[in-house]
Amino acid sequence: MGMSASQARLLSLQARQSNLEYQGQQINQERTILSQQCTALYNSLLEMNVPTPPSTSDFTTVKYVGENGATTYSFDASSVKPGSEGTYCLTLGTTEYGASLNKNNGYVTTSSGSETVYGKYVTKDTYVGSAESTTMHIGYEASTSEPAEGAQFMKKVSGADYEVGQKVYVRSGEEFVYTEMTEEMQAGDVYILASSGYNKDNGDCAIGNEITTEVEGQPEAKNIAKDALSNFYVLNEDGTIRVADPEKDFVQVTGSGTNIEYQLQDGKTYLWKNGTREDSGSFSNDSNKALIAGKTPYTLSEALEKGIINQTEYDGFVNAINNAAIKSSTAGGNTDYYGPDAFYIYKDDDNNFHFALQSDVNDGSGAAVTYDYISNGAYTKNTEYDYTELEFDPSSGRITAITIPTTYDENNKPLTYTTIDVKAQTETDEVAYNDAYAQYEYEQYLYDKKQQEINAKTSIIQAEDRNLELKLQRLDNERTQITTEIEAVEKVINDNIEASYKTFSG
pLDDT band of residue 423 (cuts 50, 70, 90) is: very high
Q: In this predicted structure, what is the pLDDT of residue 326?
A: 83
- List the Cα angle 27/29/35 in 5-degree steps: 105
Residue pLDDT, tens place only, 321-334: 988 878 776 544 44
Please give the average per-residue pLDDT across 58-69, as a whole number: 86
Q: Over 50: is that where the pLDDT of 335 sits?
A: no
pLDDT value, residue 333: 41
Separation between Cα atoms, residue 336 and residue 326, nearest integer Å: 9
pLDDT tens-digit series, residues 269-286: 998 887 676 777 776 655
Tell me the C-alpha distance between 429 and 20, whole Å.
71
What's the whole-model pTM score? 0.45
Instruction: Identify the residue with better confidence: 482 or 4.
Output: 482
pLDDT at residue 465, as a whole number: 87
Confidence band of 299 (pLDDT split at 50, 70, 90): very high
For residue 239, what pLDDT is reported?
A: 77
Say yes or no to pLDDT of 379 above 80: no
Read off the pLDDT of residues 162-210 as tens digits, 9 standing for 90 and up: 999 999 999 999 999 999 999 999 999 999 999 999 999 999 999 999 9
Listed in sequence order, the DSSP H helices in 325-429 are 358-361
Alpha helices in 308-429 (DSSP H): 311-324, 358-361
Percent of the chain with pLDDT over 70: 94
Look at residue 502 in the predicted model and tell me its pLDDT. Answer: 67
Query: pLDDT per residue over 428-482, tens digit each?
Result: 878 778 888 888 888 899 889 988 988 888 889 888 889 888 988 888 888 888 8
Specify which of 177-186, 223-232, 425-434, 495-504 reaches the highest per-range mean pLDDT: 177-186
pLDDT value at 316 more than 70: yes
Distance CA(346)–CA(373), nearest Å, equals 12
Q: Higher-confidence residue: 189 or 49?
A: 189
Q: Where are the domains of the chain?
A: 3-53+435-505, 133-216
- Which long-range CB contacts under 8 A does 148-154 form with residues at least 24 apart? 150/195, 150/196, 151/195, 151/206, 152/193, 152/194, 152/195, 152/207, 153/193, 153/194, 153/195, 153/198, 153/204, 153/205, 153/206, 153/207, 154/191, 154/192, 154/193, 154/194, 154/204, 154/205, 154/206, 154/207
Q: What is the pLDDT, as a whole number, of residue 330?
A: 52
pLDDT value for 258: 62
**CA distance between the termini of the chain:** 23
Percent of the chain at pLDDT exceeding 90: 30
**Model pLDDT, residue 170:** 96
- Computed over every residue of the chain, the mean pLDDT equals 86
Spatial CB neighbours of 113, under 8 Å, sequence gap ≥ 6: 284, 291
Tell me what pLDDT residue 304 has. 87
Q: How many Å apart are CA 160 and CA 182, to the nearest integer?
A: 10
Task: Give residue-wise pLDDT tens across range 260-270.
Answer: 899 999 999 99
pLDDT tens digits for 88-131? 999 888 877 788 888 887 788 888 877 777 888 899 988 988 77
